[in-house]
Chain A
Amino acid sequence: MSETVEQTRSVKTIPRYADVSLIRNKFAGTIEEIIEAVGEVTVIAKREGLIEFMTFLRDEPSLRFNYLSDIGGLDLGEFAAPRFAVAYQLYSLQHNHRLRVKVFLAEDDTHLPTMWGLWKASNWLEREIYDMFGITFDGHPDLRRILMPADYDGYPLRKDFPIKGY
């Protein structure tokens, strides 16, 4: 999923994805790779140093990603290593540019620090990822199931969960 793909760009894309040259060298310990495809920019990051990286993205005046659009979970299959990915879609109201930050997680190590201190919108978005994938968020004020019943067993959006349920 993380190959750079040459897409035929016959669709006109307005340049609204951030210029990442600023962060490339500064966070070399946290950033694994920066991918630009289909007119969008994805930063593959590691869990170590993620909070400092996100704080920088939010507060740095030329980037100013003050709006957390979405946090999406992704299961790459039982036999893939790493198995899970969490994608943060960031948006800057001031500069009108977007960025995606993707963190890969191994199957036996599914936890990430919470973004509650940075963007309050992460509260319910992280609860849904916990509910659907089983990825826990350290420091979350209220991590419990949100869409499924409170005593449900299993994580529905994982690929080994049958579509008709149990």
Chain B
Amino acid sequence: MQTKEIVVPTSSISVLRKPDPLADTLMTVSMGPQHPSTHGVLRLELVLDGETVVKAIPDIGYLHTGIEKTMEKEKWQQVVTVTCRMDYLNSMGNDLGYCLAVEKLMGVEIPRRAQELRVLLSELNRLSSHLVWFGTHAMDIGAMTAFFYAFTERERILDLYECVSGARLHQSYFIIGGVRWEVPHNFLGLTKEFLDGFPKFLSEAKRLVTGNKIFQHRTRGVGKITKEAAIDWALSGPSIRGSGINWDIRKTEPYTGYETYDFKVPVYDGGDVWSRYLVRMDEMEESWKLCNQALARLKEPGPVMAKHPKLELPDRDLMKKHIDVMIHHFLIASEGFTVPIGEVYQSIESARGEIGYYVVSNGEERPYRVRVRAPSYVNLSALPAMVEGSLIADVVAVIGSIDIVLGDVDR
């Protein structure tokens, strides 16, 4: 890369700038919002000097659907139908964060079996999210075969979701107080089959992509971000663990019983796309181990919903015979329940990083304010720092490595 004094005129920062071909040698190009490599409707304004990126200005908001405003209108239990639609690849993780926040405000204790189901499904979610990342990241860089292998495995996980909740992508299976219902009788057997077949895929993927010299050349040293910069820009999840910071919320602030499971947190020091790739590949293996442990614990039966009078619908036979039980059921189902006044910030480790819910309640039957700290939103703000000075092809690699989902960025 040549070291040349490059002066960016201040007018190039405006999104409405028209490049003047007679005045400067810089060219402004809009990458997106329709672009196969931007993982959704992301628009990047790239100010280019030849092939080198001088300035990258992300322009987001194409997928903004006002989810935070919608959550103020829904009742507490109805909000779980909306939370899965933000980060649609890690949908149960989103639900889990919201449910944990409200359970903290209400002071509800979740039964053991519900916690184990939550761990199993959260880790399956992490696996399916990383499979999408793996397939699309490799495809963006050019290794298109990996996409098909990854999505074939992912189809098996989506079948498991359909078995347990009826929906492939937006499950809304976790609710405040536990999980919605007991899993079908064949679910555990199907999960065991899937988990037994997964290591074969992982070793194939490593042979195909990790050992590939061209892939390594495209990703080593690209999109470097130092440790201090990563903390300053508030990266989280695999993006910060690829810069040498050992921080995983499942270990530091455990929730749903993660402190009782045995798993490692992969951390790599490079700070570049290659390190983040290795972190996620190792995370897939750790998630697989966690799924096996959770599956073993699920052999013992138990209740899946907390015995809280505001949350648990009463027994149906009793409801049909006694009027007071019927009134109780009716009020929970129609009016909903109220949550004590207060505010809480609960963050969990999603596949992308720290997803945080700042829930404010003023005693009504619907949330007063739900602020969602989306990991992709904060990770994407660090993109200009990672990409300025490199080539356009590196921009594509870096976007894949920070693993953004536009539903999460825009909400």
Contact = CB atoms under 8 A, between A and B. Distances in A.
Contacts of B360: 1, 74
Which secondary structure characterizes the binding site on chain A?
Answer: loop
B142 interface: no
Nearest to A123: B381
Contacts, number: 121
B345 A98 contact: yes
A14 B254 CA distance: 9
Contact of B340 (A7, A98, A157): A7
B267 to A, nearest CB: 13
Given A3-B341, A10-B107, A100-B345, A124 B64 contact: no
Interface residues of A, number: 51
A130 B267 CA distance: 36
Given A7-B107, A42-B343, A74-B360, A147 B252 contact: no
A148 interface: yes
B234 A156 contact: no
Nearest to B57: A142
A70 B253 contact: no
A96 B252 contact: yes
Contacts of A87: 343, 358, 371
A148 B60 CA distance: 9
Which secondary structure characterizes the binding site on chain B?
Answer: mixed
B347 interface: yes
A11 B109 contact: yes
A57 interface: no
A69 interface: yes
Interface stretch (A32-40, A47-55, A104-112): A32-40
A16 B345 CA distance: 12
Nearest to A12: B109
A67 interface: yes
Given A10-B109, A38-B104, A66-B231, A72 B358 contact: yes
A21 interface: no
B250 to A, nearest CB: 13
Contacts of B340: 5, 7
Interface of A: 1, 3, 5, 7-11, 13-14, 16, 37-40, 42, 66-70, 72-75, 87, 89, 93, 96, 98, 100, 119-121, 123-125, 128, 132, 142, 145-150, 156-157, 161, 163, 165
Given A93-B247, A147-B60, 19 more contacts: A5-B341, A40-B345, A69-B347, A70-B345, A70-B358, A75-B369, A87-B371, A89-B356, A89-B358, A89-B373, A93-B231, A93-B245, A119-B234, A120-B381, A121-B233, A125-B378, A128-B377, A148-B61, A163-B69
